[in-house]
Amino acid sequence: GRVILSGIQPTGVPHLGNYLGALSNWVRLQNQPENQLFFSIVGWHAITLPQSPSELVERKLDMLAVVLFFFQEHNPNHTELAWIFNCLTPMGKLRRMTTWKSRLAASKNLGDAQVDETGLNVGLFTYPVLQAADILLYKATHVPVGDDQTQHLELCRDIADQFNRTFKGKGKERMFPLPVQLNTPISRILSLRDPTSKMSKSTPDPQSRILLTDSFSQISSKIRSAVTDSTPGITYDPVGRPGTANLLRILRACNEINTNTYTTQGENKDDSDAALYSLASHYASKNHGALKADVAEAIEEMLKRPRAEYEKIRREEVYLRRVAREGVEKAERGPEVTMREVRERVGLV
């Protein structure tokens, strides 16, 4: 069977990008009984950027009410393995991570003190190594994430391969699988305010993203004010009309989820853009207003049930704490065995 692992940071209620790029896939994979699943809320990744401690406690419960699994920071094996991986990972590889480069660029724009990487913390730098530990600790074979995580997954495979070659077992069997990325058909959702960048939790403008908890009127107003273009009529042109293309992609993904025809990339008969051109053709002679109205309705249709469930579960704190406790118990067993073998191979018994 497949061992599926993924993670999400407890930095706020998930947005439409998290949902269409990753969470919707987790739900699908959960319905396939042959899969062994691990979904983690990654507090250690969250603190690579400053967090208010009291807010973090609340955001962790918010996220637990969404995914109902385990907290990374309840299982210290993650950091132990990350340390060992740190000692196998060249700095140059981490400097090439686009996530690191964009943090660096952002800190340079701040001017003054943080003019170079000396102002950024080491945890942020080795963030992708900790992510590799999250995955390999469970010997995961498949990782359902959005396409902003592709480079991290490549690094994870490099680290697995490096470990396998450096620390061969007695029978020369390899320690870690090389995990495969699983994408949804639409694995990159763009910001509603700036369709050249991805929808993200950290962008200051709340109009740029739709949250899982938004009401229909909030959804409608955010979609109505989404940046598009002034070309009349609707066509699918991701390069020339990125804002319009983003809306069409969101509409397609929501329609598929609402009609239960959603798949993982590669499983689908029609992953090409053909479906998007054909969707656009329905709106060829209509305007953005008509498209936006349908997009808002499709999102509402998709989110109304998860939203209601979330609101109910979020109030049940006793239940949530039990879920976290049971989650980490389940998530500890495999890793204990893996770590014993890792320590043995490295010579740290």
Among 3, 4, 13, 22, binds ligand TYM (CB under 6 A): 22
Dihedrals φ, ψ of 268, to 5°?
Answer: -85, 145
Write down the least CB distance from residue 246 to ligand TYM, Å.
Answer: 10
Quote the CA–CA distance of 258 and 95 in Å, as a whole number: 41
Q: Binding ligand TYM by CB under 6 A: which of 37, 42, 302, 324?
A: 42
Output 199 or 226, the one with its CB closest to ligand TYM: 199
Of the residues 89, 149, 244, 264, which one makes contact with ligand TYM according to CB under 6 A? 149
Q: Work out whether 17 is an interface residue with ligand TYM (CB under 6 A).
A: yes
Q: Of 52-60, 87-95, 182-190, 242-250, which segment contacts ligand TYM by CB under 6 A?
A: 182-190
The distance of closest approach from Cβ of residue 53 to ligand TYM in the complex, given in angstroms and rounded to an integer, is 19
- Interface pattern 215-244 for ligand TYM (x via CB under 6 A): ------------------------------
Smallest distance from ligand TYM to CB 120, Å: 16
Nearer to ligand TYM, 147 or 286 (CB): 147
What is the size of the binding site for ligand TYM (CB under 6 A)?
25
Residue closer to ligand TYM, measured from CB, 59 or 241:
59
Q: What is the CA radius of gyration of the chain?
A: 21
Which of 142, 198, 222, 249 contacts ligand TYM by CB under 6 A?
198
In residues, how long is the chain? Answer: 349
Interface segment toward ligand TYM; rule CB under 6 A; list 196-204, 220-228, 252-260, 275-283? 196-204
Residue with smaller CB distance to ligand TYM, 133 or 286: 133
* Nearest distance from C-beta of residue 17 to ligand TYM, angstroms: 3
Edge-to-edge order in the sheet of strand 180-182: 70-71, 36-41, 3-8, 142-144, 180-182
Among 29, 37, 145, 254, which residue sits at the site for ligand TYM (rule: CB under 6 A)? 145
Q: Is 199 in the site for ligand TYM (CB under 6 A)?
A: yes
Query: Considering the rule CB under 6 A, would residue 9 count as an interface residue with ligand TYM?
Result: yes
Give the integer Cα–Cα distance in Å for 2 and 136.
13
How many CB atoms lie under 10 A from the CB of residue 286?
A: 14
Measured CA to CA, the distance from residue 66 to residue 135 in angstroms comes to 20
Selected from 3, 4, 8, 280, the binder of ligand TYM by CB under 6 A is 8
Cβ of 332: how many Cβ atoms within 10 Å?
Answer: 14
- Which residue's CB is nearer to ligand TYM, number 205 or number 344? 205
Q: Which residues here bind ligand TYM, judged by CB under 6 A?
A: 5-9, 17-18, 21-22, 42, 45, 131, 134-135, 143, 145-146, 148-149, 187-189, 198-200
